[in-house]
A and B are shown apart, each in its own frame.
Chain A
Amino acid sequence: GNSVTQMEGPVTLSEEAFLTINCTYTATGYPSLFWYVQYPGEGLQLLLKATKADDKGSNKGFEATYRKETTSFHLEKGSVQVSDSAVYFCALIRMDTGRRALTFGSGTRLQVQP
C-alpha cells in the first residue's frame, strides 16, 4: 500500500536558518505529492504540491521537488522565521487509481527561535 515517512521532530532552528524536512514515499504508479502545514489551533493548510516527477512546488519561500528516482519530496526553506513554527505534513494521493484519500506522514514539528 501507499505510505509516507517523515523525519521525526521537533526540529528546532534559529531564525534565518536553513530548513530541510525529509519526506520519502512508497507508492506504485504516479502519486501527486503535497506538503500541508498546521499552525497552532488551526486546520491543515496546503503549503505546496507537485503532480509529476521533477515538478517543483513552491509557496511562501518553501520549496519541494518531486524526485521519482529517490521517491522523495523534501521540504526546504532558505531562511526560516518565527512565524514558520508549525507542524508540517507530507502527503500523497493516487489520482491515477481514482482514489481521493490522502495518505499522510506522521508530521514534523518545527520550532523557530528568535
Chain B
Amino acid sequence: EPEVTQTPSHQVTQMGQEVILRCVPISNHLYFYWYRQILGQKVEFLVSFYNNEISEKSEIFDDQFSVERPDGSNFTLKIRSTKLEDSAMYFCASTQGRGGREAKNIQYFGAGTRLSVL
C-alpha cells in the first residue's frame, strides 16, 4: 500500500539553527499538509499546500516557517530559526484531492519526525 514517508525520524538541532523536515507524499496525491504535536498536547494543523502554493495556514505557521515542493516528489517544511518551543513531532499528510467527497477527505499520514531543539 502506498504510504507517506518522512525523514529523518528524529532531528536534533541547536536553538537558532535552520532545519528542514522532508516528506514524500503518496505519488498521485495533490494536497499536502503539515501538522505538529507538542509532547502531551493535541495534534495541530500548520499548513496545507496545493498547486504549488499555500492554500491554508494556522496562526502557528508564522514567518519562521515555510514550505516547498522542490521537485515532483518531495514536500518540505523549513523552520528558519528554531526555538525551544518548536520541539515537537511533525507529521506530513497528503490527500488525493480528486474524485468524490470521501477521496478528498481522507488524509494519509507519515510516521512523523521528532524535532528536538536544544
Contact with A along B90-118 (1 / 0, CB 8 A): 01010100000110111111111000000
Q: Does B87 contact A (CB under 8 A)?
A: no
**Contacts A42-B111, A99-B56 given: A104-B105 contact, CB under 8 Å?**
no
Are the C-beta atoms of B4 and A100 separated by less than 8 Å?
no
Among A46, A49, A101, A106, which residue has its beta carbon within 8 angstroms of that of B41? A106
Could you say which residues of chain A place their CB within 8 Å of the CB of B55?
100
Cβ of B41 to closest chain A Cβ, rounded Å? 7
Cβ of A52 to closest chain B Cβ, rounded Å? 10
Could you say which residues of chain A place their CB within 8 Å of the CB of B104?
95, 100
Count of A-B residue pairs with CB < 8 Å: 62
B42-50, B63-71, B75-83 - interface stretch: B42-50
User: A21–B112 Cα gap in the complex (Å)?
Assistant: 24
Are the C-beta atoms of A32 and B105 separated by less than 8 Å?
yes
Are the C-beta atoms of B101 and A51 separated by less than 8 Å?
yes
Cβ of A65 to closest chain B Cβ, rounded Å? 17
Are the C-beta atoms of B91 and A44 separated by less than 8 Å?
yes
Interface residues of A in 71-114 (CB under 8 A from B): 89, 91, 93, 95, 99-107
Q: Does B73 contact A (CB under 8 A)?
A: no
User: A57–B71 Cα gap in the complex (Å)?
Assistant: 37
User: A42–B18 Cα gap in the complex (Å)?
Assistant: 26
Could you say which residues of chain A place their CB within 8 Å of the CB of B44?
104
User: A107–B35 Cα gap in the complex (Å)?
Assistant: 15
User: A51–B101 Cα gap in the complex (Å)?
Assistant: 9
Q: Does A12 contact B (CB under 8 A)?
A: no
User: A93–B31 Cα gap in the complex (Å)?
Assistant: 15
Are the C-beta atoms of A45 and B109 separated by less than 8 Å?
yes
**Contacts A43-B110, A106-B42, A107-B43 given: A101-B105 contact, CB under 8 Å?**
no
- The residues of B with any CB-CB pair to A shorter than 8 Å are 4, 6, 31, 33, 35, 41-45, 48, 55-56, 58, 91, 93, 95, 101-102, 104-112
- The residues of A with any CB-CB pair to B shorter than 8 Å are 32, 34, 36, 41-46, 49, 51, 89, 91, 93, 95, 99-107
Contacts A42-B111, A43-B110 known; list 7 others, CB within 8 Å.
A34-B105, A36-B109, A43-B91, A49-B105, A100-B31, A100-B48, A100-B104
